[in-house]
Amino acid sequence: MDRKWFYRLGILRTAVLLITMVSLAGCGTAATPTTVAPTPVLQHPTAPAAPVQEPTTAVVAPTLPPAPTAAPVQLVMWASTDENGNPECRYKVPVDAFNSKNSNIQIELVARDPGGEEMRTVLAGGAEVPDLAETTSPDSVTPWSAGGLLLPLDNYAKKYGWQDRFLPWAFELGKVKGTLYALPNEMETLVLFINNTVFDEHGWKAPTTFAEFEDLAKQIKAAGLIPIADGGDADDRFVNSWLTGEYINHIAGPDKVYQALKGEIPWTDPAFVESIQKLSDHMKAGWIQNGFNLYKTLSWDDFHQSFATGEAPMLVDGTWLLGDLTGTYFPDDPNQDKWEWVPFPSVTGDAIYDLGIGSTLSINTHSKHPDEAAQFLDFYYSPETVALLYKECSTAPAPIHIDASTFQSTSGVDKRTADLYEALGEQTAKGNYGYTCWAFMSKQMCDVTFIDDIDLVWTGKETPAQWTAKLEEDYQAAVKDNILPPIPTR
C-alpha cells in the first residue's frame, strides 16, 4: 500500500469521530466537549510497489508450417564406366565423399565418355551440358579454351589458394596465354627400378650417371642376364614412348627438349640424333629385353615377370606400376627391400623426372553453378582426397605438394611409393624435370613417331637422323594447327 492511502485513511477516521460527537451532543444533557487527537498516520518507508497492470487477453500467434528446405544445387559430371557399366572408381569415390559432406550441393555422375570428342561437341552446343569438363590430356586445353568452352579459373584460384597448393609447373600447365583454364590430374613419372636381390648377390650399385649405367649394363650382360626388362609390341606399344623419352631427356637434356618444344631449336639438333642413336645401339646390343626380336613379342606381364624373377634386374617403368610391384610381383616383401627405385641415369648425373600428366578438370563455360563447381574442384584437389583416391582406386596423385609421411599414413601405401611422390614433387618444383610425349607433344608426335616409328630405327629401316627429321615435321604441323599443349616456363 502506498503512502497516499495511509493519508486518506487518517482523514476518514477523523470525520467519523466528529459526526459521532455531534450526534451525541444532540441527545440528552450537554457534555463538556472532549478534544480527541486524530490518529496519526504512520509513514513507514516501503519499496515502491509494481505498477498495477490492467488485465489483458493473451494473443496467441498462429502456428505456421515449417519453412520448406531449399533444394540442393545439382551439378552434372560425366564419368567413364568400368566393365560392369558403373562409374569408374576415380569418379565415384570423390563424388560420393563430396556429396556426403555437402547437403546443399549434389553431383550426379552420368555414364558418358568424359574427355572425348563427344564432350567437346556437347560443350560447344551449350545445352544439357555437364558442369565439370574433363580432357584426356593437357593438349586439349588450348583448343577447348580457344573455342570458348572452358571458364577462366583465376578468381577461384585466388579464393582457394590453388597456386600455393599445386606444384609451380603444374599450375602453369593449365594456363593458356596467361589465363588458368584447367587443373591437371595424375602426376606421373618414369624411373629405373632395381631388383635388389640380384644386385646384392653381384655387389652391383644403382647407377647415377649415364656412363655408370652403360658400364653396369655390360657387367649384367656378361653375367648372363638381361640388363633391362621391357617389352613394347605384344599388347602395349606405349612402352616404346617410355624408352624414347627417357633417352632423349636424359642424354640430350631437358633444357634442349624445352628449347625444341618452344621452337627455339629444331628436333634435328645433333643432341637428339645422338640420343636416338644410343637407344638404337642398346636395343641392338641386346641390353633391352635381349633385343628387338624378343622385346616385340613380350606381353605386359611377361617383361614384368622377367624383372621380378631377376632375369632382367633393371626395369624402365613408371609410377603406375607401384601398386603391382607390391601386390603382384613382389607380394612377399615384409621389409620393403626386395626392390627400389632411382631416377633414370642422366649424362650429368642430375636427378631428372620426366613428367607425365593424365586428364585435366575444368568448369564448363555454360555451367549455371560455377561457384559450386569450383567448390568441388577445391575438394577434389585437397591432400585428403588425393590420398583417398590412391588408397581406394590406385589413382596417381594430382600434382600438389605431397608430404611422404602424411601421404603414407593417410593412404596406407608402401613407404617407397610415398617417398617417390614426395621426391617427384620436391625435385620438379626445383625445375629438375623432363617431358613425356603424351603430356607435352601432339598426338602425331607421340602416338605415331615416338611409339610406332621408333621400330623403324630399331630394325634398321630408318636412321636416327631420319627419325628426328620426321619429328621436326610433326612439330611444325602442330604449331601451324595450334594443337601443342601448354609448356611451363623453365
Tell me how far CA of residue 430 lies from CA of 353, 399, 423, in angstroms.
Answer: 11, 14, 11
Per-residue pLDDT reduced to its tens digit, 78-123: 888 888 888 889 999 999 999 999 999 999 998 877 666 677 677 6
Q: Are residues 386 and 477 in the same domain?
A: no
- Taking alpha carbons only, the member of 117, 174, 240, 164 closest to residue 439 is 174
CA 205 to chain centre: 35
DSSP classification of residue 326: I
Reading the chain (490 residues) residue by residue, the pLDDT tens digits are: 443 333 333 433 433 333 333 343 444 443 334 343 443 433 434 444 444 444 444 445 556 555 556 789 999 998 888 888 888 899 999 999 999 999 999 999 988 776 666 776 776 765 567 999 888 777 778 788 888 889 999 999 999 999 999 999 999 888 888 999 999 999 999 999 999 999 999 999 999 999 999 999 999 999 999 999 998 766 778 999 999 999 999 999 999 999 999 999 999 999 999 999 999 999 999 999 999 999 999 999 999 999 999 999 999 999 999 989 988 999 999 889 999 999 999 999 999 999 998 888 999 999 999 999 999 999 999 999 999 999 999 899 999 999 998 899 888 889 999 999 999 999 999 999 999 998 899 989 999 999 999 999 999 999 999 999 999 999 999 999 988 888 888 8
Q: Are residues 200 and 238 in the same domain?
A: yes
- Could you tell me the pTM of the whole model? 0.80
5 domain-assigned: no
Phi, psi at 201, each rounded to 5°: -60, -35
Tell me how far CA of residue 411 lies from CA of 214, 393, 395, 423, in angstroms.
Answer: 37, 11, 11, 17
The C-alpha atoms of residue 405 and residue 411 are separated, in whole angstroms, by: 10
Domain that holds residue 205: 188-356+432-481
Number of separate domains in the chain: 2
Q: Are residues 227 and 294 in the same domain?
A: yes
The C-alpha atoms of residue 92 and residue 98 are separated, in whole angstroms, by: 10
For residue 372, what is the domain's CATH number?
Answer: 3.40.190.10
Cell of 141: 586445353
Q: Are residues 306 and 365 in the same domain?
A: no
Q: Are residues 149 and 289 in the same domain?
A: no
Q: Cell 560425366 sits at which residue?
A: 78
Q: Are residues 240 and 277 in the same domain?
A: yes
Q: Are residues 144 and 128 in the same domain?
A: yes
Cell of 63: 502456428
Q: Are residues 108 and 165 in the same domain?
A: yes
The C-alpha atoms of residue 131 and residue 77 are separated, in whole angstroms, by: 6
Contact 394, 413 (CB under 8 A): no
- Taking alpha carbons only, the member of 102, 189, 186 closest to residue 386 is 186
Domain-ending residue, one of 395, 422, 453: 395
Tell me how far CA of residue 284 lies from CA of 149, 163, 321, 328, 469, in angstroms.
Answer: 48, 46, 26, 31, 22
Q: Cell 560455377 sits at which residue?
A: 370
Going 307 to 308 to 309 to 313, the CA torsion angle's sign is positive
